[in-house]
Amino acid sequence: MLDTALELYFIGNNSALFVELHGFLERFALNELPKRLAKNKIFKSVISELIGRKTLSDVSECFEKLNIWESEDLKFVKKLSNIKNGIVHKNVKLVSKHLGDGSATATYKIYEIVGKVDCSPYIIKTIKLLIKLSGVVEGF
């Protein structure tokens, strides 16, 4: 499932890796929520249409209310979203706040900051959240 993310990890492209992890988790969450809420295929279709343009941040609290994710999971999702947004929108202050010491101000420093991060914990936590969403392992 995460072959692209793992390839990015192995080649050291941390910036693209954060975007990939966030994007994959977001898509999986948006696909999973209607399954959890719907009574039948019609309801699932309606719910899918209603949340189709939502973001991971928009729906993450739903998973906590459904006792699928915990508050620590929501903190991770928020952090991952902030990192992704900082990278994509070239916001060095946001990236520096979440991955560095918060002092960087020059845009070109984004890739330097991100490049120094050990991304393996982010990959592992993303996989744990995907497992929780899938319902394959209860209480994971």
pLDDT, tens only, 83-129? 999 999 999 999 999 999 999 889 999 999 999 999 999 999 999 99
* Structure tokens belonging to residue 80: 């991952």
pLDDT, residue 140, reads 53
Q: Is residue 48 situated within a structural domain?
A: yes
Other C-beta atoms lying within 10 Å of the C-beta of residue 87: 24
pLDDT, tens only, 31-86? 999 999 988 899 899 999 999 899 999 999 999 999 999 999 999 999 999 999 99
Rounded to 5, what percent of the chain is helix, strand, coil?
75, 0, 25
CA 87 to chain centre: 13
Q: Is residue 107 situated within a structural domain?
A: yes
Q: How far apart are CA 96 and CA 83, in angstroms?
A: 9
How many domains is the chain partitioned into structurally? Answer: 1
Q: Is residue 57 situated within a structural domain?
A: yes
Residue pair 86/113 in contact by the 8 Å Cβ criterion: no
Q: Which pTM does this prediction carry?
A: 0.91
CA 93 to chain centre: 19
Q: Residue 117: which domain range?
A: 3-134
Other C-beta atoms lying within 10 Å of the C-beta of residue 93: 15
pLDDT, residue 38, reads 87
Q: Is residue 139 situated within a structural domain?
A: no
Q: Is residue 140 situated within a structural domain?
A: no
Q: Is residue 85 situated within a structural domain?
A: yes
Q: What are the distances in angstroms from CA 113 to CA 83, 101, 108, 132? A: 11, 9, 9, 30
Q: Is residue 36 situated within a structural domain?
A: yes
Q: Which of 20, 44, 41, 39 is nearest to 119 (CA)?
A: 20
